[in-house]
Structure 1
Amino acid sequence: MDRLTAVQVFVEVADRGSLTQAAERLEMSTAMVSRYLAAAEGWFGARLLHRTTRRLSLTDAGTAALPACRQLLDLALETQHLAGEGSREPSGVLRLAASGSFADAHLTAALVDFQQLHSQVEVMLSVADKATDLVTERVDLAVRITNNLDPAVIARPLARCRSVLCASPAYLQRHGTPRTAEDLLRHRCVAHAFGIGRQYRFTRAGESIAVPVDWCFHTNETAVLRRAVLAGAGVGMLPTYYLGDDLRAGRLVPLLPEHEPEVLGIHALYLSRQHQPLALRLLVDFLAARFAGEPWDQAPPAATEG
């Protein structure tokens, strides 16, 4: 049996703790994974994994061998790229996950432009305003907006997500405009269901502050939150990547400009740098270049007279 494939199987099983999950990732049968593991143990001359009906764990020999196996796979992958990447066209299916609002505002257009450059890449995009389990949902790349990253995945920064506290002119006409953070306690506020509790977090004069508020409307979807604020439900905090046209047109009014909401990171998340498809690596590079500098926060060019 191919020794490099056996090493790859061992690493996948060690990373996932499951023959079944490794088989799905490698598109093999579980029986074939077991045969490759047995072959690897024969070549190493040692048992690499403890197997029980409930779990797998590395033996001392497996723990010692795993770093060298990772290095071997990295070297093989680098050699493959050097030998054939120059003339190879990326292809295959990329499974992506992202929040609905970011997908709607920016990611979908970016993916379409990427496919115009690489027409043999098929994209499957799943949207949800909650974290995606890359392993169980077999996602190649998740674009996630958060400052709390899972250390088990690789995260590449793409951009920053700034937010703005805002309300509709109709709401402000009925209820008045808050002038201080403390005024928010007397206002109706709308919130994301996966938010940070009954408070807003700001930075003011370089100091972090938390302002307690009362929510009157909750939703788990940023697009619905925006629609509620536009309809006059109350004061809301929304990402600037989604509100540029609303702010410029005056449909929403920014509030408390001296209070900066917490800035979040926009990250490309994937499981491993090993055996990464060419299409995935090119897409991550494309998105990093596309979103660098948060283009949605840049002022539009000034009109010139003809």
Structure 2
Amino acid sequence: MDTLRAMRFFVRTMELGSLSAVARDLETTQPTVSKVLALLEAQMKVRLLERSTKGPVPTEQGLRFYDQAKSILEQYEGAVSSVQGLTEEPTGLLRINAPVAFGQFRVNAWVQEFLRLHPGISVELILNDRFIDLVEEGVDVSLRLGAELPPNVIGRHLAVVPRLLVASHSYLERRGAPLHPDDLVSHDFVRFAWSPGNMIDLHRAGKTLSARTNSRYRVNNALAIREALALGSGIGLCPEWLVHDLLTKDELVRVLPEWTASSQDLHLLYPSRRYQPLRSKLFIEFTANQFIGLPGFYPPS
């Protein structure tokens, strides 16, 4: 029996809590996962998991073995990464997570370049707008905008992203430009569907003001918001990276330009384990370099 492989199956079972989830994650079948775990228990002569209708439940011995097995696997991956670093031939699957719009707008193109640079690496790019558990979902690297960092991860602060009020010329010619944040309530405000309420906080010269908005159109995709604004659907509050090119081409203009919302922080996250596979290290450095001079992103203070 391949003991390292069996330990990996056990560790992922502990983290995912489902044999079917482990099978999907490790690209095998549920019966195979069950068989490998049974062989591991037989080899060790100890019960690691209790089977129940709700899924596998670790025994006391299983809980203790999990910490040791995870540490051994991390040391093994570190040793492999060290050897790969000497040969400069990184290999394996890299699972990357990013917000949907940012992933489509930026990360997808970066991944193509990264793959060209490293032919031995394959990538699975997972785009969603929720904060995920990197360990539970088997993600190596995640790019996240805003909000507090989740626990059990290491975060590298890559950039600060300003957020601006913008609209098209056609909309402003039709409805007039607001002169004060209080005027926003009488305009059509295009906003992200999951944003709570209708209030936005705006800042100017150290002063903060809460302005009410009226949203006839909400959408759960930032690229759709970008397109709607360019089509003249209303005023929107957007991260600068999303609309910088449209502002440059004068397809959108700043609204209330002296006012801004709180900036977003962009972090690159990875699991808080001691050893990182070489492919992860390479992508982390590669991605950090993409933000040098990139419009809409500013170095963290």
2:202 partner SS: strand
Structure 1 residues 62-71 or 92-101, which shifts more? Answer: 92-101
Say whether the 8 Å CA contact 2:190–2:236 is kept in structure 1: yes
Give the structure 2 partner of residue 181 of structure 1. 181
Partner SS for 2:183 = helix
Counterpart Cα distance in 1 of 2:7 and 2:125: 31
Q: Is 1:200 aligned to residue 176 of structure 2? A: no
1:236-275 C-alpha deviation (Å, 9 max, x unpaired): 1112112112222332221234432132233445567588
Q: Determine if the alignment matches structure 1 residue 3 to structure 2 residue 6.
A: no
Cα distance in 1 for partners of 2:193, 2:26 equals: 37
Residue type of the alignment partner of 1:286 = F
Instruction: Describe the superposition over 1:63-115 as per-residue Cα deviations: whole angstroms up to 9, x where unpaired.
Output: 23322222222222222222343214234554545445323432233223222
Residues 16 and 137 of structure 2 are in contact (CA less than 8 Å); yes or no, is this contact kept in structure 1? no
Indicate the larger mover: 237-246 or 155-164: 155-164
Q: Deviations over 1:9-52 (max 9, x none)?
A: 22111111112222332334434433433344345553222221
The answer for the alignment partner of 2:220 in structure 1 is 220
Aligned-residue CA RMSD (Å): 3.4
Give the corresponding residue for 2:114: 114
Structure 2 partner of 1:161: 161
| Partner Cα separation in structure 2 for residue 95 and residue 77 of structure 1 | 16
Output aligned runs, 1:1-306, within 5 Å: 1-42=1-42, 44-125=44-125, 127=127, 141-151=141-151, 156-206=156-206, 209-269=209-269, 273=273, 278-291=278-291, 295-297=294-296
Mean Cα deviation higher: 272-281 or 70-79: 272-281
| Structure 1 gap segments, 5+ residues each | 300-306
- In 1, are the aligned partners of 2:96 and 2:139 still within 8 Å (CA)? yes
Aligned letter for 2:55?
Answer: R
* Aligned AA (1:168): S
Number of corresponding residues? 298
TM-score calculated relative to the size of structure 2: 0.81
Structure 2 counterpart SS, 1:67: helix
* Partner Cα separation in structure 2 for residue 258 and residue 272 of structure 1: 40
Return closer, same or farther for 1:62/1:209 CA change in 2, 3 Å cut-off: farther
Q: Which amino acid aligns with 1:72?
A: I
Aligned-pair CA distance for 1:213: 0.9
- Report the identity percentage: 32
Q: Is the 8 A contact 1:159 1:288 kept in 2?
A: no
Q: 1:209 to 1:39 in 2, by over 3 A?
A: farther
**8 A contact 2:78–2:277 mirrored in 1:** no
